[in-house]
Structures are given as structure tokens and as C-alpha cells.
Amino acid sequence: MSGNLKTPETISRDKRCSYGDSHTHVFLPVLELEDLPSRQALRGKARCRNTSAASGGGASVSRRERIVGPTASSLPLAVTHTYSDTHSNMLQLPCLAAVVVTLMASCASGDTGYFWHVTDFHYDFTYWDHQLSCNNNVTNPGPLGDYWCDSPWRLVTDTIAAMGDIKSDVDFLIWTGDTVAHIEDEHLNVSLNMEIMQNLTDALDSGFPNKTIYATFGNHDYHPTNQFPATGSEIYNRTAEMWKKWIQEEEQMNNFRKGGYYTKSIWPNLRIVGLNTNLYYTSDKVTVNIPDPTGQLAWLSQTLQNAKNKTEKVIVTAHIPPGVHTPSRVVWFQEAFVAPFMTIISNFSDIIVGMHFGHDHHDGFKVFYDSQGQPAVPLFVAPSVTPWRYKLKTGEIGPPHNPAVRLVSFDRTSGKHLNIQQYRLDLPQGNLQKKANFTLLYNFTQIHHR
Ligand SMILES: [Zn+2]
Ligand SMILES: [Zn+2]
């Protein structure tokens, strides 16, 4: 099904700001730089002003819009765009991507580090019998999965093995949650969720022995789904124990037991902050009207201030990203949490070198502005391992996804990111060959002509 899809090479030659393919009705915003704040800065950095329509088999759609957050008028809120890994294709916005490239390191100091970012496994333990995650009846499920379903165990283990085959000597891994499948609460319970997460924890740990994995919760990892509480809970406690070998420090273990967040020093000059942004999710009904559930925002602000005092750079990671999701234009955060969260990120945009999130299942990125209205912090949303496509009660269905993992290179000295190598598995082909052959889909800075 990839015959008509654009290849990264095709995309790099084609500098329009909107793309579509003939298989999916994907709506992509056209980036119109004239509408954006601090357009001079953007123009200077990204010399492409584009308004042209996408093409592609007649099924693609283009439109132009200015995307801002719900309270953007007074905030240096992110401009948000997404390119979507629908199927084996990459859809992208070259103009904003060029801005992101400028926020990454222009050259390495010579001390290059690597980390994997893997997210949204959504392991369906019922794949071979009840198919509880599948949105259609699948009569011939493939050994590596099906676009209508969450991941079978074979996809989980083969994905981890493929990551190790591609690059095992990474500095660390980032794992941004949603380990549990899209299965109704009545078929799950706390112990089952914990067992699923333990399985994945063990699989990643044995795939990358002696590597630290910076793991965070996804909204599906809680039971009942999404309902992360503002006070401690059994799931916080049990997961803290599960990930103790990676969190290590008692103070951070206490933070995790309190609310699923922690920080760790990666190098003397580089720190990671793992957040539980599920607390701000619109589907979390138990944190509504609580100003700062679990105290995470106050802690985040203080943690970043401490890092700044020590002249550290910071990588922020979590599951649910702030800002507007395109193409759906859904805002995942409850509105009350948008401004407080964005203000903290803006205040410390000079020390945050990159943010890595999951949840969208799409490949995407956002750019955050600093308090002067200048592009300052790139946020990268990694595509999912699960190929699952959603199906709403209205009948609307989402695009399928090829399982994906990404390798990020960074300058160990500055912490700045150097590049992203995006890998994906052509699922139909993998099922035919009964082999999870993950191949490079694109190389971020290469296709954007650094
Ligand atoms: Zn997910
Ligand atoms: Zn999620």
C-alpha cells in the first residue's frame, strides 16, 4: 500500500508546506508565516513562505490556518503543527521544520550521544483470542499485528530487538507510556495493568541491559483509564518500585509515589525531567478544579530553577503533550492547566534543549516561544509502536500507523539535539515476511537541508 506514497526524498525536493497522500484524508494546516508572531525571526531562519495546496491522488486536502492555543492571546504559546506518519508515509511541514532545525545544535562538539525514544506500545494480551483492542473484526491477524488492533506481544519484543540491532550502545532510553491497550476498563484492573507494565519493563530492561530508561506514565496505564489522582495511589507506589532501578534516588522515588514525576541528572550538565502530564488530560475527571494536582507544577518550576542555578540544560519528557494536536485540533490539556504549564516552559526556555512526548500516535513537532516571542524550544512527538487506528462512535475512523521508533542524537556537552532518525516497520510487509524489519524512514536534519 505504499506505492503512491511520497518518500522522504520526494518530500525534501518538494518544499511546499502541505502534503497529502492518496490513502488517507489527512488535513494538514498550511503554515503561513506572515500570521505568526515574531515573523521576522522566523523568516530569517526559515526562508520559505508557503501557501500552496497539497496534491496526491485527489484525496488530499489543504487549508490555511493559524494555529494557536486556547489562551494564546497573552501567552508565548506554541505554534503547533504535526506531520503524520499515516501508514508508511511521512507528512510534514518543511517551514516549521526548518525553524526546529535552527533550535537544534548546528554542529557537534565531537562528543555525540544517542537515545532511543519509544512510546505507546499498547500491548494487547488478548490479540490472539478476544481481540479486545481491535476496532474491526480481524479474521486473519498478522503475526506482527494488524492496523485495527493494538500490539501483539511479538510486535513488542521484535520492536525492542530491532532497536537493539540498529543501535544498542545508546546513552539511555526515553519511554513515554501507554503500555496498556485500548481495552475497556471492565476487562482490566490494577493488578493486570501492573502485570502488563512489568512485562514491558522487563522486556526493555533485558533488551537494553544496564541502560537507564527514563519512563513515564501514559493515560492508558492507569486504572480506571485516565483517572490519575491528585494524591498518591497504589499504581504510583507499585510503578515506583518497578522503575526503582532507573529512578534510584529516594527523593525522586518520593516524587514518583506522590504523583508519577521525577528528575535525574544524566551528565553533570544535563538533566532529565519526567512528568505525569496525564494529570492535565481532559479525560482525567479527578483533577478538575484542582489548581496544581500532586504539586507537580510547583515542583517543575523549582526543579528548573535549581537546574538553571547549576547551569544545567534540561530534557523534558512526558506522555500527553501541551498545545493543539493537528490535524484534529484537539487540545489534550484541560484549559486551566495550559497557561500555568506554558508559563513555566516559557520562563525556562533558555535551559530546555528538547521535549519528547507521545500520545498522539502521530509523528509531530511543536515550537515554543520564549517570553520575547522568539522560537525557543522544540517539542517532538514520537509516533507509536501500536499500529491501532481509532474508530469513533460517530463512525469516524483514524489512520493506521506503521510501528515506529526513533533514535535521537545529541551533543553531550550542550545537551542540544543534533538529529532524529525515524525508523518504521512496514507492517503488511513484515507480516508477509514474518520479520520485523525496521527501516529508516527519514533523517530529520538531512531532509530539511541543514
Ligand atoms: Zn497511546
Ligand atoms: Zn495516550
pLDDT tens per residue across span 19-69 = 222 222 222 222 222 223 333 333 333 333 332 222 222 222 222 223 333
Residue 182: nearest ligand to its CA?
Answer: 1
Architecture of the CATH domain 112-448? 4-Layer Sandwich (3.60)
Residue 133: nearest ligand to its CA?
Answer: 1
Residues of the chain above pLDDT 90, percent: 62
Whole-number Å distance between alpha carbons of 390 and 396: 8
Global pTM? 0.83
Distance 75 CA to ligand 2 centre (A): 26
Distance 119 CA to ligand 1 centre (A): 8
Distance 359 CA to ligand 1 centre (A): 4
Which has more pLDDT, 106 or 313?
313
Contact 144, 201 (CB under 8 A): no
Residue 179: nearest ligand to its CA?
Answer: 1
Radius of gyration of the chain (CA): 20
Distance 62 CA to ligand 2 centre (A): 27
Distance 176 CA to ligand 1 centre (A): 9
Per-residue pLDDT tens over the stretch 189-200: 999 999 999 999
Q: Strand, coil or helix: what is 193?
A: helix
Across the range 360-380, mean pLDDT stands at: 85
- Judged against a pLDDT cut of 70, whether residue 364 lies above it is answered with yes
Distance 124 CA to ligand 2 centre (A): 15
* Burial grade of 199 (CB within 10 A; 0-12, 13-18, 19 or more): middle
The residue with cell 540491532 is 165
Across the range 73-82, mean pLDDT stands at: 41
Distance 141 CA to ligand 2 centre (A): 24
Distance 97 CA to ligand 2 centre (A): 24
- The alpha carbon of 236 is separated from its chain's Cα centroid by a whole number of angstroms, namely 22
Distance 386 CA to ligand 1 centre (A): 8
